[in-house]
Amino acid sequence: MSADLAFINTNIKTINPQMPFAQAITITKDRITKVGTNKEIESLIGENTVVLDLEGKTILPGLIDTHIHVADYGRCLLWLDLTSAKSIAELQAMLKEKVKQTKSDKWIVGQGWNETRFKEARMLTSEDLDEVVPDNPVILYREAAMICAVNTKALALSGVTEQSAVPKDGEIDKNPDTGKLTGIFRDTATTLVWQAVPEPTEAELLETTAYACQKISAAGITSVDWIVISENELPIIQKLHEQGRLTFRVNVVVPEALLEKAVSLRTVDSSVLRVGGALIVVDGYLDSKEAALVEPYSDETSNSGKMYLSEEALKASVKMAIRAGVQPVIHAMGDKAIDATLRVIEQSPQGTRFRIEQAAVLNKGLLERLRVQDVVISVQPKVISTEFTVWSAKERLGERAKWLHPIKTLLDAGVVVAGGSDCPMEPLSALLGMQELALRPSDPTQRLSVEDAMRIYTFDAAYCSGEEATKGSIEAGKLADLTILSSDPTGVKPDKIKDIAVDFVVVNGKILVAIT
Ligand SMILES: [Zn+2]
């Protein structure tokens, strides 16, 4: 039988060690039918085959993002991007434009300003914002930190005054001379204003999430592990699926508390949409020193972090996920949390593919146990790089910093590592993730080859969700999900990988034209 679609004269990186490279590929319906040279696929080209000459472009297996918050990303796409503002005046001009397109009672939310880039070299104030936006409430988040600037209207709606109590681990800035609020909120105090921003309506959320889906396809992603944060995402996922607007495969991962509600999601094709995981959070983040450590933090010797779950509770949660037929997706960051997680895994019946989000602070013993149990480690490489511009691993962890996200060491030991973006916390881009893995600015000893980095976003990401038999490499019989790139990631300087253009993607055998 002749194929529906054929790509010839391409540079195919198959991520299949049996045949790493190929020149041509054929697709029939939703499957790859042949991979080889132009000559080898000739016999499958018939009258009705659409043949595309890709003139040397690179094809990778469809890229997979194992950790993305799609609905949140959609909301953020509507935010005003302030990263290019080089002065407060420039930022004010951007706000002025935005206010023209915004109804008078609607909030204006923005992100990405940074006073170190401003000509004026100072923080924003509520007066700066009031000057250009007196009527709409405004909240603008600073880059790479939990700091926001708000205007007077936003202060009024949130009910915060000079007399308001400051929440633990937060700060509300006041003018030292007058005692008046400056409009700057820090850390936990930022939620005082954020909670006054109304939740989007279901119709708004549907449209913003659909927009996020277009962006995800444009970034070359053909499968995601959609980490659900709030219950109101479930009907959105259902609707987008029914309306045919999910342009990539979705493995839904929900907080364990939402598992029962999520399993009622109806799917017409479980290879396109399925509920695949329950998120179980064992400890907090290193950033806020809530990752649970065996020994205390080096920069705060009375603090060893926090276990959010006892080992018994963790065991019960894991059992519940397995009983519901989904993967336990376990957030464990500190060595103490990872040790407890491994003990539960070691006592669980065989046959479940376990996955740990982060597994940040390791040691030799933990590494060996991860290998023996075949636990997949899910990492978000850009998050790792950004973190170490904010705090010092050496100061916080001392000698343990050597074992912080030791991705190369994990691969060398045979532990599978899968990659995600954590978008919208960090930009949506698997290519950027590969670049971070290859450059590893925070720890050059853990740099990966570009080939390994590509596997982390393809085959290993499919392995992470137990779908490696159908996805993750370019082989006859597998689902026809492909990402077509203008250049080969192994053929450019590592710091240019993120700039490679995604030409288009193929999902389920169909060409999707990328929307930029
Ligand atoms: Zn996340």
What's the gap in Å between 325 CA and the centre of ligand 1? 22
- The separation between CA 63 and the C-alpha centre of its own chain, rounded to angstroms, equals 13
How far are the Cα atoms of 45, 227, 396, 414 from residue 443, in angstroms, in the given order? Answer: 49, 28, 15, 20
Tell me which residue of 311, 312, 348 sits closest to 328, measured CA to CA. 348
What's the gap in Å between 422 CA and the centre of ligand 1? 5
What's the gap in Å between 350 CA and the centre of ligand 1? 28
- Per-residue model confidence (pLDDT) at position 169: 84
What's the gap in Å between 133 CA and the centre of ligand 1? 32
What's the gap in Å between 80 CA and the centre of ligand 1? 21
What's the gap in Å between 153 CA and the centre of ligand 1? 31
What's the gap in Å between 321 CA and the centre of ligand 1? 19
What's the gap in Å between 229 CA and the centre of ligand 1? 9
Per-residue pLDDT of the chain (516 residues; tens, 9 = 90+): 899 999 999 999 999 999 999 999 999 999 999 999 999 999 999 999 999 999 999 999 999 999 999 999 998 888 999 999 999 999 999 999 999 988 888 999 999 999 999 999 999 999 999 999 999 999 999 987 689 999 999 999 999 999 999 998 899 999 999 999 999 999 899 999 999 999 888 898 999 999 999 999 999 999 999 999 999 999 999 999 999 999 999 999 999 999 999 988 988 888 899 999 999 999 999 988 999 999 999 999 999 999 999 999 999 999 999 999 999 999 999 999 999 999 999 999 989 999 999 999 999 999 999 999 999 999 999 988 888 877 889 999 999 999 999 999 999 999 999 999 999 988 999 999 999 999 998 899 999 999 999 999 999 999 999 999 999 999 999 999 999 999 999 999 999 999 999 999 999 999 997 554
Cβ contacts of 453 within 8 Å, gap of 6 or more: 419, 433, 434, 435, 437, 438, 489
Tell me which residue of 349, 259, 257 sits closest to 308, measured CA to CA. 257
Cβ contacts of 97 within 8 Å, gap of 6 or more: none
Q: How many CA atoms lie within 13 A of 408 on its CB side?
A: 15
What's the gap in Å between 226 CA and the centre of ligand 1? 10
Strand (E) positions, 125-178? 138-142, 147-150, 170-174
What's the gap in Å between 216 CA and the centre of ligand 1? 16
What's the gap in Å between 322 CA and the centre of ligand 1? 22
pTM of the model: 0.89
How does DSSP classify residue 62? P
Q: Quick check: bond before 349 cis, omega within 30?
A: no
Contact predicate 307/341, CB 8 Å: no
Gap between the Cα atoms of 354 and 370, Å rounded: 10
Return the H-helix or E-strand segment holding 419: strand 417-419
